[in-house]
Structure 1
Amino acid sequence: MDPFAQPQQGPSWADFVAAWELFRDPVLSAGIAGLVLGFLAVYVVLRRMVFVSAAVTQGAGLGVALAFYAAIHLGIDIDPGLGAVATALLIAGLLVLDPGRLGLSRETVLGLAFALCGGGAVLVGARISQEAHDIQAILFGIGVMVAPEDLRAIEIAALALMLVHLWLFRGLCFASFDPVAARVQGLPVRVLDAVLLASLGIMIGVAARALGSLPVFALSTMPGAAAVLLGRGRLALTFALAAALGSAAGVGGYLLAFFWELPVGGAQTVLAVVIAIAAALALAAARALAGLMRRG
């Protein structure tokens, strides 16, 4: 080891700007996907659907693995993104049906789906060693680049879903948070639930192909948890905050990964969790301060 050698410096902001053409697609993908997933995360958190998000995310990972398997061993060319969306929608569709008719609870169905998809992705991945790196990138988000077609898929899905959700915002909120009253008012609660679950399936499937299942799960839960704490019951503000925090976690995680030379998916996941913890600490501090002021 040369004691006179210059210490190595990590990547700088100038390096990032100089290579913006290379990083543009993954940054935009993370920001757009994070925005929509964060928006949907409010429903996930308030309706206690976190396990739904986990199961759908695992389904998306299995769909990508199956697409690679079909191409390698069966000679059937299936777009991995399409495979992710198809299996994610399949898992989401199981929840639209009434599992009670089979004597199963919703939690049991979710547990079965989560375990089957997670184990299936590992088993299928073991049979396609040629694409082992791609499978790892999809499951854990270790990939750095995003294909242009994946960015386009995210853009199209994000635009379509946000238009639908803004158009149906009042009805979706009413059906989600007070379904009994919504039925009394004549709203098609079952249809609106199907719209929400399909939205989760589509966005999670599309985003998992580009970002990885692990960060997608974090982005579909943590921003919602943080926004619910900070929004204090104001729905419009809560949804706006969740969308902004989701986008910030996606883009910020990518930047952290670049500057600190970390796995992208791990950085995005941890940042999303840190945002949720920071929101909880901020709320606790605000309540403590308010209590001190009342005593004073």
Structure 2
Amino acid sequence: MPFQFGFMQNAFWIAAIVSVPTALLSCFLVLKGWALMGDAVSHAVLPGIVLAYILGLPLILGAFGAGMLTAVATGYLSENSRIKQDTIMGVVFSGMFGLGIVMYVGLKTNVHLDHILFGNMLGVGPDDLWTAGIISAGVAAVLILKWKDFMLHAFDPAQARVSGLPVGVLHYGLLAILSLTIVATLSATGLILAVGLLIAPGAIAFLLSRSLRNMLRVAVIVCMASMLGGVYASFYLDSAPAPTIVLILTAIFIGAFIRKTVLTRRASARL
């Protein structure tokens, strides 16, 4: 049984901890059309991590700083230029990721890049659990308490502004939450696979729900079940937990899409 090993227990704990904030955030990213933003920020934190290592600072500080710089720069450029947001994200993301690779290659160190890119869920320690737990609790609390404000901002920013909501605070606050969430998942899934947790749960819940309230619930349930199930299955499949989790989420998304398609065709045939 996997539960008798300490490293597997930590893997289950980190999976349960990060599943809640990533699931909640993924719903707003999907509704707002910011799926590529999660991809861009998750890749762009690499130079911050390398710089933090050079300066002897905690890696999470470098990751958060680079993530916020990327998110704010992308948001500012998209609002103050005629270039479309996806184009700006592509330029900023590729530039930051390229800078991170150049910095890492030029740095003589024994630190393996694979752990940064793909995570090391089976190597999670108490410090990683505490860091992820504190960040996850804060992110989840903000999203749960302010979900109605974020919902209005996602669907109709103009109406949110007219209603007196601080649109600027919500906009950059969501970007800050995105960066913090990526930092929380850094030790679990790494930079590349983190994007799966930031998109798939919200996309699945969107196909299975009719309201945002239910969408948030479904996303959390699906994400937590997939993460815990992926860690459990990886023990018997002798595979890495993070890719196994992403494959499970992908399979659920395909099943939800097929279900939605069948129900839509049945409804159209009755008319």
When normalised by structure 1's length, the TM-score is: 0.84
Q: Secondary structure at the match of 1:131?
A: coil
1:205 aligned residue: 183
State the Cα deviation string for residues 159-196 of structure 1 (Å, max 9, x = none).
11111122212111111111121122121112111111
For residue 286 of structure 1, report the CA deviation from its aligned partner. 2.8
2:36 aligned residue: 51
* Number of positions where the alignment pairs a residue of Structure 1 with one of Structure 2: 271
Identity of matched residues, %: 25
Which runs of structure 2 are paired with 1:1-296 in the superposition (5 Å)? Answer: 14=1, 16-19=2-5, 21-68=6-53, 70=54, 76-101=55-80, 104-128=83-107, 130-133=109-112, 135-141=113-119, 143-232=121-210, 234-290=211-267, 294=270
1:11 aligned residue: none
**2:20 and 2:140 in contact (8 A); partners too:** no
**1:84 and 1:206 in contact (8 A); partners too:** no
Cα distance in structure 1, aligned partners of 2:50 and 2:154: 33
Which amino acid is 2:99 matched to? Answer: G
Q: Secondary structure at the match of 2:225?
A: helix
The alignment's C-alpha RMSD in Å is: 2.1
Q: Secondary structure at the match of 1:267?
A: helix
Larger mean CA deviation between 145-154 and 220-229 belongs to: 145-154
Larger Rg: 1 or 2? 1
For residue 256 of structure 1, report the CA deviation from its aligned partner. 2.3
Which amino acid is 1:17 matched to? Answer: F
Which amino acid is 1:24 matched to? Answer: Q
**1:125 and 1:132 in contact (8 A); partners too:** no
Q: Secondary structure at the match of 2:45?
A: helix
- Taking a change above 3 Å as real, the CA distance of residues 131 and 254 of structure 1, as seen in their structure-2 partners, is farther
For residue 47 of structure 1, report the CA deviation from its aligned partner. 1.2
Q: Structure 2, unaligned stretches of length 5 or more? A: none
Cα distance in structure 1, aligned partners of 2:12 and 2:46: 21
- Taking a change above 3 Å as real, the CA distance of residues 67 and 258 of structure 1, as seen in their structure-2 partners, is farther
**2:229 and 2:245 in contact (8 A); partners too:** yes
